[in-house]
Structure 1
Amino acid sequence: MRIGLLAEGGYPYVSGEAGLWCDRLVRGLEQHEFDVYALSRSERQEAEGWVPLPPQVGRVRTGSLWEDVDDGIVHGRRTRRRFAECYGELAAALCATAPGQPSESSAKESRSESSLEADRFASALYGLAELAREEGGLPAALRSETAVRALERACRAPGAHRSARQARVPDLLTVAARLERALRPLSFDWYEDDDLGSVDLCHAASGGTAALPGLLARHFCDIPLLVTEYGVRLRTHYLTEPDSSPAIRSLLAAFHGRLTAETYRRAAMITPGNSHARRWQERCGADRVKLRTVPPGMDAAPFAEAGESPEHGDPQTLVWVGRVEPAKDLVSLLHAFAEIRRAEPGARLRIVGAPRGPEGAAYLAHCKGLAAQLFPDEADGPHAVGRNPVSFEETGGPELPSRADAYASGALVVLSSVVEGFPAGLVEAMFCGRATVSTDVGAVVEAIGGTGLVVPPRNPRALAEACVALLRDRERRERLGAAARARALELFTVEQNVTAFHGIYLEILSRTPVRRVVLDDTGEPLPFAVPAEAHVPGRWSDSTARVAARGGPQTIGGGSQAVGGGLQAVGGGPGAVRRGSGPGWAQDAPVRATAPASAPASASATKGAVR
């Protein structure tokens, strides 16, 4: 099959987020073809280039989200009127009560109002997309005075949210500029039958703007959309830009909330990486029958030697590995280690990691100063293993050539974070067969299962007591480490992740009508390749999904079809398309198909790079 992989600031760029996961997915599914549609976030990212691409990547198209675009398009009066109407509806939906906020009306009325606002937002969004497709790009229009005035009218309208009513002209200019960047995929020329419309499935590597091309491909070409979120983009937005004004935060949060809800509503399936992300998605409007938990795959090979070695490092050494930043709460770890030293005077702590940016460098300097204060009698010279009970190190040197060597150097691995998504470093320690002591944040408990000790965050005493308990019990450490390695190899390897997505791809396509002509080897249309039901309007597949949920077989189009598992023969005759629907990771819930979307219109032009 042919997959359209959608990424924002990630694959195939060298410095992209989630780029490694995308690369492993593409290389692991070499039986499929991939077209990559990438959104870049900075000039530096584009200048650093791409990672080497495997042969199954047939095309790469890129679009910029960082540069100012002057498309030079001058729209006529009728087009400007259509734009003002659509953008005004979009702005009105953003200024209304945002999803999840309390309302004075009853619960039933509140749900009805929320549904109406969601439909209003979707209608405005697709109206802008159709306008861009018919008349040309919209970057200039989205930054125009018309857009700013529409935002102002919506903010001043009766019933607008209180924070929106506080918006001033600088706030409105900032919001209009940010919305233009977020909506820039509307103006791309990706949505034709020979481009993104030619793929079998769109797979968005994250939510937010990255999933917007998938929404438009579904709207224009009826391509099913799969959304994978290992970090919920909406949650990330809530945690950023605390210094912005309340009006800016409110309007942008409303936009991202509406876009996220529309993405979840239109997606054929959503794959969170853990239950923590899953709860966020359900709270943001995702239908739980569409959710399928797929843990991120990690390469276990670099940690095999450490995990299989009978040696277990220095029995008195604790190891922390990660990126040095305030969210890791190394301050609590240092205070906990002071208590550990009082109970176990021979204990040592190795902090292995590098800071990122000025904030990380300042935090590292603060932690080094705190360590010198907590252990003044032992701060003999620079921080180094053997001289001071606390050492600050980085991998790549003779002492610790790799992260695996860092984990193997101690008997116990500690995680002290106050904020965490999926704890990749903790899983690496599990691959190495190390017992762990962690704070109860993010998906930590889900990752380690019962193979480590978990304590509350920001509680140095509890952290110290758990570490002392394991330092004094070697047999327990070895038992927990062996169980941790077995769990990691069973759940968190690249092979498990790739196998899960292969099954999900087949499952989605098995429930998606084939909408294009299938040709044989001679170039002639293949008879009976498309089942007749593919062209019947209406929600004919709902009954299919309900029967599939009960495990019942059915016959569609003359062929035998067991939906929800096993092999399928869709349609009858020699052109039958056989597919399999492999098992997923969590609840095996059916996904309902919807009626065909609107027909495509004419094309528009935008910047793109084709490989």
Structure 2
Amino acid sequence: MRIGLLTEGGYPYVSGDAGLWCDRLVRGLGQHEFDIYALSRSEQQEDEGWVPLPPQVSRVRTAPLWSAEDDGAVLGRRARRRFAECYGELALALCAGGPEGAEGVHAAEADRFSSALYGLAELARDEGGLVGALRSEGAVRALERACHAPGALRTARDARVPDLLTVATHLESALRPLSLDWYEEDGLGAVDVCHAASGGTAALPGLLAGHFFGVPLVVTEYGVRLRTHYLTSGAGTAATAAPAVRALLAAFQSRLAAEVYRRAVCITPGNAHARRWQERCGADRAKLRTVYPGMDATRFAEAGESPECGDPDTLVWVGRVEPAKDLVSLLHAFAEVRREEPKTRLRIVGTATGAEGEAYLGHCRALAAQLFPDEADGLHAMGDNPVSFEEIGGPELPTLADAYASGAVTVLSSVVEGFPVGLVEAMLCGRATVSTDVGAVVEVIGGTGLVVPPRNPRALAEACVALLRDPERRARLGAAARARALELFTVEQNVAAFHGIYLEVVSRCPVNRVVLDDTGEPLPFGVPAEAHVPGRWAAPGAPLGSGGDPAWTPGPPVRAMPAGEAAR
């Protein structure tokens, strides 16, 4: 079986998102072939290179989302008319109805968006690309007409020329996959299944492969792309954008998500929290199949199987330092813990990325010095201050497992969380946990840890004190947590689930390819089911068949046996 793995800013790049689970999936399915189609997000990501690829990866094709050179396509009069019609219909679909998700969108508008999208894809295929057209003044004028059309959103009607230029730029970036040369018989037309590693733009090539060649699409979302768009549109520079810009871009993401969910034959959320979001955004419940992320349990085996050896008076927090992790509430909670248990210490293990993360880390250090002024300034090593800020790789914590094993209780204090990977790592280490009730935390914990409301330092402190004072309870919860993690969240479980999904999809939605003989006539059985089976099963040195794979070597003759003898 040949699988086209579609990624955006992820695998196979070294700094790619979700690259780890993709790599584990590809390596775990050595019996299949993988073609990787990757969209990169930055020049730096491309300069950093790829991770080492296993032999089952047949080829990798990449394209940048951060820039698009002029494809040189010059549209004639008829092509320009086709573009104006399709892009105008797309713009009308965005302006009609709010961005509240596919559930609130009239079916006619969903069909309009779908027809316009595939119309643009067909035009790009015929003309060799649409980069110039998507950047043209005609695109901006089409948006302007749609914003002032009858029934348009009130917010869209307020759009000014700078707003329209901003929206057109974002749409051109999101629609760049339409102009790629991936949609040929020897490209995505040659795969048996397209597997998009996320929704949104990453799934767009899968939609076109299904449109042009009938290739079935599987979509995996461990974090729902539409939810991420809503969360980020209210923060940072996106929050300063004009209301018309936010409304139109949200409408585009909503329409695209609904189309992806409608066309996909199987959707695999990573947890029930993501599943509820997908259903709210229009996904058919019959297509949903929850597949938990796979974690490498061997890294944490020593810590998980050994008796509790960490400091019984230490709390541990592990993760990426950023405002969503709410370390401020954790520090205030720890101040209350110290009043009840003066010997308790807190190890904050993690790094900050970007200017925002560095600023937040500095704020947390200053807060620690303010909360514990008589003990240290919050910057000293363990032993000088009850709060220490550390990183993996130092002499105290050489590995991630050592960080979790260094304390009695692992704490998660986030206010926003998708699938809590750090929580699963703590469970694999056999740690008792205290977590805030966000994202998929309750689903992951399953009764093997304590859960408190977010942004509630007192509740967080009370739960930590309860576990610090009860070592037997900590041991029971830690053992139960490790057993649950080994049952549900290992690489083996993840790979086995996707292997079954691939086989089921291919059996229900086979790609019908027509192979012609030398005379141009259709060749019956030209593409047998074994066409893409790797040839590793053949004997060493076996001759090659006409297709380039080792030819089948017959085994010893099988003696026919009467039915009665076979039964005996």
Q: Same fold (TM over 0.5)?
A: yes
Aligned to 1:432: 429
Is the contact made by 2:101 and 2:281 (CA closer than 8 Å) also made in structure 1? no
Aligned to 1:38: 38
Aligned to 2:142: 150
TM-fit CA distance, 1:409: 0.5
Aligned to 1:277: 274
1:328 aligns with 2:325: yes
CA distance in 2: counterparts of 1:74 and 1:528, whole angstroms: 38
Aligned to 1:212: 204
Q: Deviations over 1:490-525 (max 9, x none)?
A: 1001111000000000111110134125899xxx95
Aligned to 2:218: 226
Aligned to 1:592: none
Is the contact made by 1:514 and 1:530 (CA closer than 8 Å) also made in structure 2? no
Is the contact made by 2:378 and 2:387 (CA closer than 8 Å) also made in structure 1? no
SS at match of 1:407: helix
TM-fit CA distance, 1:245: 1.1
**Paired residue type of 2:408:** A
Is the contact made by 1:69 and 1:140 (CA closer than 8 Å) also made in structure 2? no
1:301 aligns with 2:293: no
SS at match of 1:376: coil
TM-fit CA distance, 1:46: 0.9
1:263 aligns with 2:289: no
Is the contact made by 1:322 and 1:354 (CA closer than 8 Å) also made in structure 2? yes
1:359 aligns with 2:356: yes
CA distance in 2: counterparts of 1:274 and 1:39, whole angstroms: 25
* Among candidates 239, 242, 245, match of residue 239 of structure 2: 242
**Paired residue type of 1:359:** E
Q: Does the C-alpha gap of structure 1 residues 514 and 65 become closer, same or farther in structure 2, counting only changes over 3 Å?
A: closer
Is the contact made by 2:442 and 2:451 (CA closer than 8 Å) also made in structure 1? yes
TM-fit CA distance, 1:73: 1.9
- What is the correspondence of 1:25-424 to structure 2 with a 5 Å cutoff? 25-100=25-100, 114-240=106-232, 241-379=238-376, 382-424=379-421
* Among candidates 437, 442, 451, match of residue 439 of structure 2: 442
Q: Bigger shift: 60-69 or 509-518?
A: 509-518
CA distance in 1: counterparts of 2:39 and 2:225, whole angstroms: 15
Q: Deviations over 1:288-322 (max 9, x none)?
A: 10000000001111111111111331110000000
CA distance in 2: counterparts of 1:452 and 1:498, whole angstroms: 27
CA distance in 2: counterparts of 1:510 and 1:100, whole angstroms: 36
Normalising by structure 1, we get a TM-score of 0.83
Q: Deviations over 1:337-374 (max 9, x none)?
A: 11111111111111111111111111111111111111
CA distance in 2: counterparts of 1:65 and 1:277, whole angstroms: 25
Q: Bigger shift: 159-168 or 478-487?
A: 159-168
TM-fit CA distance, 1:382: 4.0
Aligned to 1:473: 470
Q: Does the C-alpha gap of structure 1 residues 256 and 40 become closer, same or farther in structure 2, counting only changes over 3 Å?
A: same
CA distance in 2: counterparts of 1:206 and 1:29, whole angstroms: 19
Q: Deviations over 1:217-255 (max 9, x none)?
A: 000000000000001111111122222111111111101
Is the contact made by 2:101 and 2:258 (CA closer than 8 Å) also made in structure 1? no
CA distance in 2: counterparts of 1:147 and 1:192, whole angstroms: 27
Aligned length: 520
Is the contact made by 1:515 and 1:530 (CA closer than 8 Å) also made in structure 2? no
TM-fit CA distance, 1:190: 1.1
CA distance in 1: counterparts of 2:508 and 2:165, whole angstroms: 44
SS at match of 1:499: helix
- What is the correspondence of 1:473-552 to structure 2 with a 5 Å cutoff? 473-516=470-513, 527=525
SS at match of 1:242: helix
TM-fit CA distance, 1:165: 0.9
Is the contact made by 2:379 and 2:389 (CA closer than 8 Å) also made in structure 1? no
1:460 aligns with 2:457: yes
**Paired residue type of 1:21:** W
CA distance in 2: counterparts of 1:323 and 1:64, whole angstroms: 27
TM-fit CA distance, 1:71: 1.8
Is the contact made by 1:2 and 1:34 (CA closer than 8 Å) also made in structure 2? yes
Percentage of pairs with the same residue: 79
Is the contact made by 2:101 and 2:254 (CA closer than 8 Å) also made in structure 1? no
Is the contact made by 1:350 and 1:391 (CA closer than 8 Å) also made in structure 2? yes
Aligned to 1:599: none
**Paired residue type of 2:390:** E
